[in-house]
Structure 1
Amino acid sequence: MCRKLTSAIPTQRLILTPALIFIWLPTDVSASIVEAQGEAGSSFFDSFIAFLVHPLVIPILLTIGFLGLVIELFTPRFGLAGIVGIIAFLLYFYGHIVAGLAGIGTFLLFAGGIVLILLELVLPGGILGLFGFAAVLASFFMSAVDFVHIGISLLIAFTISILACMVMIKVFDKKMKFFKKFILTDSTNTESGYVSNQNRTELIGKKAYAMTDLRPSGTVTIGDERIDVVTEGGFIVKDTPVKIIKVEGSRIVVREWKEIDNE
Protein backbone atom coordinates (compact mmCIF):
# COMPACT_ATOMS: atom_id res chain seq x y z
CA MET A 1 0.00 0.00 0.00
CA CYS A 2 2.84 2.40 0.90
CA ARG A 3 4.24 2.63 -2.61
CA LYS A 4 5.53 5.68 -4.42
CA LEU A 5 2.86 7.47 -6.39
CA THR A 6 5.15 9.17 -8.88
CA SER A 7 3.83 6.96 -11.63
CA ALA A 8 0.62 5.75 -9.98
CA ILE A 9 -0.90 9.20 -9.34
CA PRO A 10 -1.41 11.24 -12.49
CA THR A 11 -0.13 14.82 -12.35
CA GLN A 12 -3.62 16.27 -12.69
CA ARG A 13 -4.71 14.46 -9.50
CA LEU A 14 -1.99 16.17 -7.45
CA ILE A 15 -3.31 19.60 -8.33
CA LEU A 16 -6.97 18.89 -7.52
CA THR A 17 -8.52 21.14 -4.87
CA PRO A 18 -9.44 19.55 -1.50
CA ALA A 19 -13.11 19.96 -2.34
CA LEU A 20 -12.77 17.91 -5.54
CA ILE A 21 -10.76 15.27 -3.72
CA PHE A 22 -13.46 14.71 -1.15
CA ILE A 23 -16.18 14.31 -3.83
CA TRP A 24 -13.98 12.08 -5.99
CA LEU A 25 -16.05 8.94 -6.51
CA PRO A 26 -14.42 5.52 -6.06
CA THR A 27 -15.46 4.62 -9.60
CA ASP A 28 -12.99 7.16 -10.99
CA VAL A 29 -9.98 4.86 -10.73
CA SER A 30 -7.30 4.49 -13.35
CA ALA A 31 -6.71 1.07 -14.83
CA SER A 32 -3.10 1.03 -13.64
CA ILE A 33 -4.14 1.53 -9.99
CA VAL A 34 -6.78 -1.21 -10.19
CA GLU A 35 -4.22 -3.51 -11.73
CA ALA A 36 -1.63 -2.75 -9.07
CA GLN A 37 -3.96 -2.98 -6.09
CA GLY A 38 -6.55 -5.40 -7.34
CA GLU A 39 -9.30 -3.28 -5.81
CA ALA A 40 -11.06 0.00 -6.60
CA GLY A 41 -10.69 1.14 -3.00
CA SER A 42 -7.09 2.20 -3.70
CA SER A 43 -8.43 5.46 -5.16
CA PHE A 44 -9.22 6.67 -1.65
CA PHE A 45 -5.59 6.18 -0.64
CA ASP A 46 -4.42 8.05 -3.73
CA SER A 47 -6.89 10.83 -3.01
CA PHE A 48 -5.66 11.05 0.57
CA ILE A 49 -2.02 11.38 -0.51
CA ALA A 50 -2.98 13.97 -3.13
CA PHE A 51 -4.81 15.88 -0.40
CA LEU A 52 -1.74 15.86 1.90
CA VAL A 53 0.56 17.32 -0.76
CA HIS A 54 -1.93 19.91 -1.99
CA PRO A 55 -0.51 23.49 -1.92
CA LEU A 56 -3.41 24.71 0.23
CA VAL A 57 -3.08 21.90 2.75
CA ILE A 58 0.69 22.22 3.32
CA PRO A 59 0.55 25.56 5.20
CA ILE A 60 -2.38 24.25 7.24
CA LEU A 61 -0.45 21.16 8.33
CA LEU A 62 2.65 23.22 9.18
CA THR A 63 0.60 25.75 11.13
CA ILE A 64 -1.14 23.02 13.13
CA GLY A 65 2.22 21.40 13.81
CA PHE A 66 3.93 24.53 15.10
CA LEU A 67 0.83 25.68 16.98
CA GLY A 68 0.70 22.35 18.80
CA LEU A 69 4.33 22.74 19.89
CA VAL A 70 3.77 26.35 20.99
CA ILE A 71 0.76 25.42 23.12
CA GLU A 72 2.78 22.63 24.72
CA LEU A 73 5.25 25.26 25.98
CA PHE A 74 2.48 26.61 28.21
CA THR A 75 1.39 23.25 29.62
CA PRO A 76 3.13 21.41 32.47
CA ARG A 77 3.17 18.07 30.65
CA PHE A 78 2.93 16.73 27.12
CA GLY A 79 -0.72 16.57 26.07
CA LEU A 80 -3.27 16.70 23.28
CA ALA A 81 -1.89 19.82 21.58
CA GLY A 82 1.55 18.25 21.23
CA ILE A 83 0.11 15.01 19.90
CA VAL A 84 -1.95 16.88 17.28
CA GLY A 85 1.12 18.89 16.29
CA ILE A 86 3.25 15.79 15.86
CA ILE A 87 0.50 14.09 13.81
CA ALA A 88 0.35 17.13 11.53
CA PHE A 89 4.11 16.97 10.88
CA LEU A 90 3.94 13.20 10.34
CA LEU A 91 1.13 13.63 7.80
CA TYR A 92 3.14 16.28 5.98
CA PHE A 93 6.21 14.08 5.60
CA TYR A 94 4.20 10.90 5.04
CA GLY A 95 2.33 12.47 2.13
CA HIS A 96 5.50 13.79 0.53
CA ILE A 97 7.41 10.54 0.98
CA VAL A 98 4.65 8.33 -0.42
CA ALA A 99 4.08 10.74 -3.32
CA GLY A 100 7.75 10.44 -4.19
CA LEU A 101 8.48 14.11 -3.45
CA ALA A 102 10.83 13.36 -0.56
CA GLY A 103 12.84 10.51 0.90
CA ILE A 104 12.93 9.02 4.38
CA GLY A 105 16.19 10.89 4.96
CA THR A 106 14.27 14.16 4.88
CA PHE A 107 12.10 13.05 7.76
CA LEU A 108 15.14 11.81 9.68
CA LEU A 109 16.72 15.24 9.19
CA PHE A 110 13.59 16.84 10.66
CA ALA A 111 13.55 14.43 13.62
CA GLY A 112 17.25 15.03 14.24
CA GLY A 113 16.66 18.78 14.24
CA ILE A 114 13.91 18.45 16.85
CA VAL A 115 16.22 16.34 19.02
CA LEU A 116 18.96 18.99 18.82
CA ILE A 117 16.50 21.73 19.79
CA LEU A 118 15.36 19.71 22.81
CA LEU A 119 18.98 19.08 23.81
CA GLU A 120 19.59 22.83 23.66
CA LEU A 121 17.07 23.24 26.49
CA VAL A 122 19.23 21.22 28.88
CA LEU A 123 22.74 21.87 27.59
CA PRO A 124 24.54 25.23 27.68
CA GLY A 125 25.75 26.96 24.55
CA GLY A 126 23.41 27.73 21.68
CA ILE A 127 25.09 25.85 18.85
CA LEU A 128 22.88 22.77 19.14
CA GLY A 129 19.70 24.84 18.93
CA LEU A 130 21.01 26.72 15.90
CA PHE A 131 21.90 23.50 14.07
CA GLY A 132 18.59 21.95 15.09
CA PHE A 133 16.56 24.88 13.75
CA ALA A 134 18.58 24.83 10.53
CA ALA A 135 17.98 21.08 10.15
CA VAL A 136 14.22 21.51 10.60
CA LEU A 137 14.08 24.27 7.99
CA ALA A 138 16.27 22.27 5.60
CA SER A 139 13.99 19.23 5.91
CA PHE A 140 10.98 21.28 4.80
CA PHE A 141 12.79 22.84 1.86
CA MET A 142 14.23 19.47 0.79
CA SER A 143 10.74 17.97 0.71
CA ALA A 144 9.22 20.86 -1.22
CA VAL A 145 8.68 21.06 -4.96
CA ASP A 146 8.54 24.86 -4.92
CA PHE A 147 10.89 26.73 -2.57
CA VAL A 148 8.79 29.90 -2.78
CA HIS A 149 5.64 28.05 -1.75
CA ILE A 150 7.27 26.26 1.21
CA GLY A 151 8.86 29.55 2.28
CA ILE A 152 5.46 31.27 2.30
CA SER A 153 3.92 28.28 4.11
CA LEU A 154 6.58 28.41 6.83
CA LEU A 155 6.17 32.18 7.14
CA ILE A 156 2.43 31.72 7.67
CA ALA A 157 3.01 28.97 10.22
CA PHE A 158 5.63 30.96 12.15
CA THR A 159 3.54 34.15 12.13
CA ILE A 160 0.43 32.43 13.46
CA SER A 161 2.47 30.55 16.07
CA ILE A 162 4.16 33.75 17.30
CA LEU A 163 0.80 35.54 17.47
CA ALA A 164 -0.64 32.61 19.43
CA CYS A 165 2.32 32.78 21.81
CA MET A 166 1.76 36.51 22.37
CA VAL A 167 -1.96 35.96 22.99
CA MET A 168 -1.20 33.26 25.55
CA ILE A 169 1.19 35.57 27.41
CA LYS A 170 -0.51 38.96 27.09
CA VAL A 171 -4.19 38.05 27.05
CA PHE A 172 -4.38 34.86 29.10
CA ASP A 173 -1.33 35.66 31.28
CA LYS A 174 0.11 32.20 30.72
CA LYS A 175 3.63 31.20 31.68
CA MET A 176 5.87 28.88 29.69
CA LYS A 177 5.60 26.02 32.16
CA PHE A 178 7.63 23.70 29.96
CA PHE A 179 10.82 25.67 30.67
CA LYS A 180 10.28 25.54 34.44
CA LYS A 181 11.72 22.02 34.29
CA PHE A 182 15.02 23.46 33.05
CA ILE A 183 15.16 26.97 34.60
CA LEU A 184 15.75 27.67 38.28
CA THR A 185 13.14 30.23 39.38
CA ASP A 186 13.54 30.06 43.17
CA SER A 187 15.17 33.12 44.72
CA THR A 188 17.33 32.84 47.82
CA ASN A 189 16.26 36.07 49.47
CA THR A 190 15.71 37.01 53.10
CA GLU A 191 11.93 37.07 52.64
CA SER A 192 12.03 33.41 51.65
CA GLY A 193 14.03 32.54 54.75
CA TYR A 194 17.46 32.41 53.11
CA VAL A 195 20.50 34.16 54.56
CA SER A 196 24.00 34.16 53.10
CA ASN A 197 25.52 33.96 56.58
CA GLN A 198 24.55 34.32 60.20
CA ASN A 199 24.20 37.95 61.31
CA ARG A 200 25.64 38.16 64.85
CA THR A 201 24.07 41.46 65.83
CA GLU A 202 23.77 40.27 69.43
CA LEU A 203 27.55 40.68 69.77
CA ILE A 204 27.44 44.47 69.39
CA GLY A 205 28.70 46.17 72.54
CA LYS A 206 30.26 43.06 74.05
CA LYS A 207 33.79 42.91 75.37
CA ALA A 208 36.28 40.49 73.85
CA TYR A 209 40.00 39.79 73.96
CA ALA A 210 42.38 39.71 71.01
CA MET A 211 43.54 36.14 70.72
CA THR A 212 45.98 37.18 67.99
CA ASP A 213 47.43 40.45 66.83
CA LEU A 214 44.81 42.31 64.80
CA ARG A 215 46.59 43.63 61.64
CA PRO A 216 43.79 44.70 61.19
CA SER A 217 42.15 41.27 60.94
CA GLY A 218 42.55 38.51 63.45
CA THR A 219 40.76 36.45 66.07
CA VAL A 220 39.17 37.43 69.34
CA THR A 221 37.56 35.37 72.08
CA ILE A 222 34.32 35.91 73.92
CA GLY A 223 34.27 33.33 76.67
CA ASP A 224 35.12 30.07 74.92
CA GLU A 225 34.04 31.24 71.45
CA ARG A 226 36.55 32.31 68.83
CA ILE A 227 35.45 34.96 66.34
CA ASP A 228 37.20 36.36 63.29
CA VAL A 229 37.14 40.15 63.37
CA VAL A 230 38.70 43.27 61.85
CA THR A 231 39.59 46.57 63.45
CA GLU A 232 38.61 50.00 62.17
CA GLY A 233 42.00 50.10 60.50
CA GLY A 234 44.50 50.27 63.33
CA PHE A 235 46.81 47.65 64.85
CA ILE A 236 45.78 45.98 68.11
CA VAL A 237 48.19 43.83 70.09
CA LYS A 238 47.34 40.32 71.24
CA ASP A 239 45.45 40.00 74.57
CA THR A 240 44.16 43.58 74.32
CA PRO A 241 40.52 43.96 75.37
CA VAL A 242 38.30 45.11 72.52
CA LYS A 243 34.68 46.06 72.04
CA ILE A 244 32.55 44.86 69.16
CA ILE A 245 31.07 47.97 67.60
CA LYS A 246 29.62 46.81 64.30
CA VAL A 247 28.34 43.63 62.62
CA GLU A 248 27.84 43.57 58.85
CA GLY A 249 27.03 40.02 57.85
CA SER A 250 30.21 38.03 58.37
CA ARG A 251 32.26 41.19 58.97
CA ILE A 252 32.64 42.00 62.66
CA VAL A 253 34.40 45.27 63.54
CA VAL A 254 36.11 45.88 66.86
CA ARG A 255 37.80 48.77 68.63
CA GLU A 256 40.15 48.88 71.61
CA TRP A 257 38.23 48.86 74.85
CA LYS A 258 40.29 51.65 76.40
CA GLU A 259 39.24 53.99 73.61
CA ILE A 260 35.65 53.49 74.60
CA ASP A 261 36.45 54.12 78.26
CA ASN A 262 38.24 57.39 77.49
CA GLU A 263 35.37 58.87 75.49
Structure 2
Amino acid sequence: MVDRYPDQPVIPSTKMLLVPMLNLSIAIIASMIVIALLARYLPRTSFYRRFALMAANPSGPSFSAPREFVTGLRISLGAKGTAVTMLRPSGKGRFGDQLVDVVTAGEFISAETPIVISQIDGMRVLVSRSQISS
Protein backbone atom coordinates (compact mmCIF):
# COMPACT_ATOMS: atom_id res chain seq x y z
CA MET A 1 0.00 0.00 0.00
CA VAL A 2 1.37 3.39 -0.93
CA ASP A 3 1.65 5.91 1.89
CA ARG A 4 0.36 9.27 0.74
CA TYR A 5 0.78 12.45 2.69
CA PRO A 6 -1.08 15.74 2.17
CA ASP A 7 1.72 17.52 0.33
CA GLN A 8 2.33 14.66 -2.15
CA PRO A 9 0.71 14.22 -5.59
CA VAL A 10 -2.47 12.16 -6.07
CA ILE A 11 -0.87 9.77 -8.58
CA PRO A 12 1.95 7.81 -6.89
CA SER A 13 5.43 8.15 -8.32
CA THR A 14 7.82 5.31 -9.13
CA LYS A 15 9.70 5.95 -5.89
CA MET A 16 6.46 5.61 -3.90
CA LEU A 17 5.54 2.34 -5.67
CA LEU A 18 8.97 0.76 -5.21
CA VAL A 19 8.42 -0.73 -1.73
CA PRO A 20 4.92 -2.15 -2.41
CA MET A 21 6.08 -3.68 -5.72
CA LEU A 22 9.10 -5.19 -3.98
CA ASN A 23 6.85 -6.70 -1.30
CA LEU A 24 4.52 -8.14 -3.95
CA SER A 25 7.42 -9.63 -5.93
CA ILE A 26 8.89 -11.25 -2.82
CA ALA A 27 5.48 -12.72 -1.89
CA ILE A 28 4.95 -14.18 -5.39
CA ILE A 29 8.43 -15.72 -5.53
CA ALA A 30 8.10 -17.13 -2.00
CA SER A 31 4.70 -18.66 -2.78
CA MET A 32 6.09 -20.27 -5.96
CA ILE A 33 8.90 -21.84 -3.94
CA VAL A 34 6.47 -23.13 -1.29
CA ILE A 35 4.15 -24.59 -3.97
CA ALA A 36 7.08 -26.30 -5.69
CA LEU A 37 8.29 -27.80 -2.40
CA LEU A 38 4.79 -28.99 -1.49
CA ALA A 39 4.31 -30.55 -4.92
CA ARG A 40 7.63 -32.34 -4.57
CA TYR A 41 7.50 -33.59 -0.96
CA LEU A 42 3.84 -33.59 0.17
CA PRO A 43 2.80 -36.77 -1.72
CA ARG A 44 5.43 -38.72 0.24
CA THR A 45 4.03 -37.80 3.67
CA SER A 46 1.68 -40.00 5.67
CA PHE A 47 -0.67 -37.04 6.13
CA TYR A 48 -1.19 -36.80 2.37
CA ARG A 49 -1.58 -40.57 1.92
CA ARG A 50 -4.51 -40.58 4.35
CA PHE A 51 -6.49 -38.24 2.10
CA ALA A 52 -5.41 -39.25 -1.40
CA LEU A 53 -6.37 -42.38 -3.30
CA MET A 54 -3.17 -44.25 -4.09
CA ALA A 55 -4.57 -47.40 -5.73
CA ALA A 56 -4.16 -47.56 -9.48
CA ASN A 57 -7.33 -47.61 -11.55
CA PRO A 58 -7.63 -50.51 -13.98
CA SER A 59 -7.76 -49.61 -17.64
CA GLY A 60 -10.96 -50.02 -19.62
CA PRO A 61 -14.54 -49.41 -18.56
CA SER A 62 -15.23 -49.80 -14.86
CA PHE A 63 -18.69 -51.27 -15.31
CA SER A 64 -20.11 -52.95 -18.35
CA ALA A 65 -23.77 -52.09 -18.65
CA PRO A 66 -26.24 -54.47 -20.21
CA ARG A 67 -27.32 -53.62 -23.74
CA GLU A 68 -30.98 -53.97 -22.80
CA PHE A 69 -32.37 -52.18 -19.76
CA VAL A 70 -34.02 -54.79 -17.57
CA THR A 71 -37.22 -53.31 -16.22
CA GLY A 72 -38.64 -56.21 -14.30
CA LEU A 73 -42.05 -55.29 -15.65
CA ARG A 74 -44.10 -58.08 -17.14
CA ILE A 75 -46.06 -55.80 -19.46
CA SER A 76 -45.84 -55.28 -23.18
CA LEU A 77 -46.82 -52.76 -25.81
CA GLY A 78 -50.55 -52.62 -26.37
CA ALA A 79 -51.41 -53.98 -22.93
CA LYS A 80 -54.71 -52.64 -21.65
CA GLY A 81 -55.21 -51.46 -18.10
CA THR A 82 -56.90 -48.91 -15.89
CA ALA A 83 -55.67 -45.61 -14.49
CA VAL A 84 -55.58 -46.00 -10.70
CA THR A 85 -54.77 -42.35 -10.01
CA MET A 86 -55.43 -39.26 -12.06
CA LEU A 87 -52.77 -39.04 -14.79
CA ARG A 88 -51.73 -35.41 -15.07
CA PRO A 89 -49.55 -36.32 -16.97
CA SER A 90 -48.02 -38.95 -14.67
CA GLY A 91 -49.59 -41.31 -12.19
CA LYS A 92 -50.23 -45.00 -11.58
CA GLY A 93 -51.90 -47.54 -13.81
CA ARG A 94 -52.91 -51.15 -13.17
CA PHE A 95 -52.16 -53.78 -15.82
CA GLY A 96 -53.39 -57.16 -14.65
CA ASP A 97 -52.04 -57.53 -11.12
CA GLN A 98 -49.19 -55.01 -11.58
CA LEU A 99 -49.28 -51.41 -10.41
CA VAL A 100 -47.00 -49.36 -12.70
CA ASP A 101 -45.86 -45.71 -12.76
CA VAL A 102 -47.07 -44.38 -16.11
CA VAL A 103 -46.87 -41.14 -18.09
CA THR A 104 -49.16 -39.68 -20.73
CA ALA A 105 -48.09 -37.58 -23.71
CA GLY A 106 -49.39 -34.45 -21.98
CA GLU A 107 -53.10 -35.22 -21.73
CA PHE A 108 -54.93 -35.48 -18.41
CA ILE A 109 -56.69 -38.79 -17.80
CA SER A 110 -59.00 -39.21 -14.82
CA ALA A 111 -58.85 -42.20 -12.48
CA GLU A 112 -60.63 -45.45 -13.46
CA THR A 113 -60.29 -44.62 -17.18
CA PRO A 114 -59.20 -47.46 -19.51
CA ILE A 115 -55.64 -46.92 -20.81
CA VAL A 116 -53.33 -48.71 -23.22
CA ILE A 117 -49.51 -48.81 -23.34
CA SER A 118 -48.23 -47.01 -26.43
CA GLN A 119 -44.47 -46.97 -25.70
CA ILE A 120 -42.01 -48.48 -23.21
CA ASP A 121 -38.63 -46.78 -22.84
CA GLY A 122 -36.67 -48.31 -19.95
CA MET A 123 -38.74 -47.65 -16.85
CA ARG A 124 -40.82 -44.97 -18.61
CA VAL A 125 -44.18 -46.36 -19.66
CA LEU A 126 -46.13 -44.06 -21.99
CA VAL A 127 -49.88 -44.62 -22.03
CA SER A 128 -52.85 -43.13 -23.83
CA ARG A 129 -56.59 -43.26 -23.38
CA SER A 130 -57.95 -46.58 -24.64
CA GLN A 131 -60.21 -46.41 -27.69
CA ILE A 132 -62.92 -48.88 -26.66
CA SER A 133 -64.39 -50.47 -29.77
CA SER A 134 -67.72 -52.28 -29.58
**RCO higher in structure (CA 8 A, sep ≥6):** 2
Q: Which consecutive residues of structure 2, in runs of 5 or more, have no partner in the other structure?
A: 1-39
Aligned to 2:122: 249
Distance in 2 (alpha carbons) for counterparts of 1:218 and 1:188: 32
Deviation at 1:115, TM superposition (A): 2.8
> Counterparts of 2:123 and 2:113 in 1: how far apart (Å)?
22
Partner in structure 1 of residue 63 of structure 2: 187
- CA drift at 1:250: 1.2
CA distance in 1, matches of 2:127, 2:43: 62
Normalization by structure 1: what TM-score?
0.30
Cα deviation, residue 179, structure 1: 1.2
**Which residue type is aligned with residue 53 of structure 2?**
V
Q: How does 1:207-246 map to 2 (within 5 A)?
A: 207-246=80-119
Equivalent pair of 2:42/2:48 in contact (CA under 8 Å) = no
SS in 2 for 1:205: coil
SS in 1 for 2:56: helix
1:180 positional shift = 2.8
**Matched residue type, 2:62:** D
Query: Does the residue aligned with 1:237 lie in a helix, a strand or coil?
Result: coil
Q: Structure 2 matches for 1:30-109, cutoff 5 A?
A: none
Q: List structure 1 segments (4+ residues) > 3 angstroms apart after TM superposition.
A: 110-113, 199-202
Partner of 1:122: 53
Shift of 1:114: 1.6
Name the CA shift for 1:115/1:213 in 2 (closer, same or farther; >3 Å). same
**CA distances 1:127-183 after superposition (whole Å, capped 9, x unpaired):** xxxxxxxxxxxxxxxxxxxxxxxxxxxxxxxxxxxxxxxxxxxxxxxxxxx6137x9
Structure whose residues are more often helix by fraction: 1
Look up the equivalent residue of 2:93 and give its one-letter code.
V
Q: Confirm or deny: 8 A CA contact 1:199 1:248 kept in the other structure.
A: no
Please report how far the alpha carbon of residue 121 of structure 1 lies from its aligned counterpart in structure 2 after TM superposition: 4.4
CA RMSD, Structure 1 to Structure 2 (Å): 3.6
Amino acid of the structure 2 residue aligned with 1:207: K
How far is 1:222 from its partner?
1.3
Q: State the identity as a percent.
A: 27
Tell me the number of residue pairs that the alignment of Structure 1 and Structure 2 aligns.
94
Any gaps of 5 or more consecutive residues in structure 1?
A: 1-109, 124-177
1:211/1:202 Cα in 2 relative to 1: closer, same or farther (>3 Å)?
closer
Q: Shift of the alpha carbon at 1:251?
A: 0.8
Whether the aligned pair in 1 keeps the contact of 2:88 and 2:107 (CA below 8 Å) is yes
Q: Distance in 2 between matches of 1:229 and 1:222?
A: 11
- CA distance in 2 between counterparts of 1:220 and 1:240 reads 10
Could you tell me how far apart the structure 2 residues matched to 1:217 and 1:227 are? 11
State the alpha-carbon separation in 2 of the partners of residues 252 and 238 from structure 1: 17
